[in-house]
């Protein structure tokens, strides 16, 4: 394991993120720990949505100890997205087919193949000790009725991809991108993410609680917020669901 990280494998869990939280609460973990499950009974996506978790896909979480404030740690969302994007592009041997969708989904030819959920854990909400980086990757299956069109690695590659191969490559890729972030900060992460982002410069729809906005995805700001231009003004959006009008 890179950097001496621990790895814990399970056949079934309620949620890999939930297991990471239990580790902190029960063990007071100080190092970084990967938790990987064959399936989940209570998988969760962003905004509390159910994440379908049948056997055959990847359900993994990294319990990552932080020594920075939450504003800086939020950059890990883009770090993880780049790690998954590079891993998928490498397996498919087709980087032009794989892109990042704000804030942290991965697309293959415009269809979602992975989602990422970051949560904090530790003794207090003000200064949590860990960030939990939860990653779901469709390897053998994908949902047919999800909020956004989906695909899986086997279908995209046209051949069988093993979970072991994906897990190993994911761990190595995330270790690489975390190291870059730790050593150089968010600026190069932002630049790399924009270079493979889907929809920058295009018209999009942003769905927020209680409102829906239509405008142009102008840029990503220095903190990772989406800059949306509409009605002659610009708004920085930190959370929301985006859809592309040309699809």
Separation between Cα atoms, residue 213 and residue 203, nearest integer Å: 10
- Whether the full predicted model's pTM is greater than 0.85, yes or no, is yes
How much is the average pLDDT of 83-92?
A: 97
Q: Which residues pair with 121 in a beta bridge?
A: 130
How much is the average pLDDT of 98-105?
A: 94
Dihedral (C-alpha) 195, 199, 200, 205: value to the nearest 10 degrees?
A: -150
Q: Is the pLDDT of residue 70 over 70?
A: yes
**Block residue for tokens 């779901």:** 136
Please write the tens of the pLDDT for every residue from 144-156: 877 789 999 999 9
Q: Is the pLDDT of residue 46 over 60?
A: no
Please write the tens of the pLDDT for every residue from 173-182: 999 999 999 9
Q: Is the pLDDT of residue 49 over 80?
A: no
Going from the N-terminus, what domains does the chain have, and what CATH number goes with each? 2-195 (3.30.930.10), 203-244 (2.30.30)
How much is the average pLDDT of 169-188?
A: 96
Average pLDDT, the chain: 91
Q: Give the contacts of 124 (CB within 8 A, at least 6 positions apart).
A: none
pLDDT at 184: 96
| C-alpha neighbours within 13 Å on the C-beta side of residue 158 | 3
Side by side, the strands of the sheet bearing 241-244 are 233-237, 226-230, 211-220, 203-208, 241-244
pLDDT at 230: 94
Q: Which of 7-21, 31-45, 89-103, 191-205 has the lowest mean pLDDT?
A: 31-45
How much is the average pLDDT of 214-225?
A: 95
């Amino acid at each position: 394991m890179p950097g001496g990280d621990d790895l814990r494998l399970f056949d079934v869990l309620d949620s890999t993120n939930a297991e990471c939280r239990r580790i902190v609460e029960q063990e007071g973990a100080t190092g970084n720990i990967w938790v990987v499950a064959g399936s989940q009974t209570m998988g969760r996506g962003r905004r509390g949505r159910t994440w379908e978790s049948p056997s055959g896909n990847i359900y993994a979480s990294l319990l990552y100890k932080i020594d920075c404030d939450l504003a800086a740690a939020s950059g890990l969302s883009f770090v993880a997205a780049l790690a998954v994007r590079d891993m998928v592009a490498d397996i498919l041997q087709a980087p032009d087919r794989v892109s990042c969708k704000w804030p942290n989904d991965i697309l293959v030819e415009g269809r979602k193949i992975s989602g990422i959920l970051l949560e904090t854990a530790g003794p207090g909400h003000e200064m949590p000790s860990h960030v939990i980086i939860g990653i779901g990757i469709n390897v053998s299956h994908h949902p047919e009725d999800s909020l956004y069109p989906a695909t899986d690695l086997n279908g995209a590659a046209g051949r069988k991809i093993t979970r072991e191969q994906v897990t190993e490559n994911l761990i190595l890729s995330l270790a690489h991108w975390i190291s870059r972030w730790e050593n150089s900060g968010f600026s190069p992460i932002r630049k790399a993410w924009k270079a493979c982002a889907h929809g920058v410069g295009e018209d999009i729809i942003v769905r927020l609680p209680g409102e829906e906005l239509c405008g142009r995805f102008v840029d990503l700001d220095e903190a990772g917020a989406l800059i949306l231009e509409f009605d002659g003004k610009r708004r920085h959006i930190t959370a929301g669901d985006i859809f592309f009008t040309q699809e």
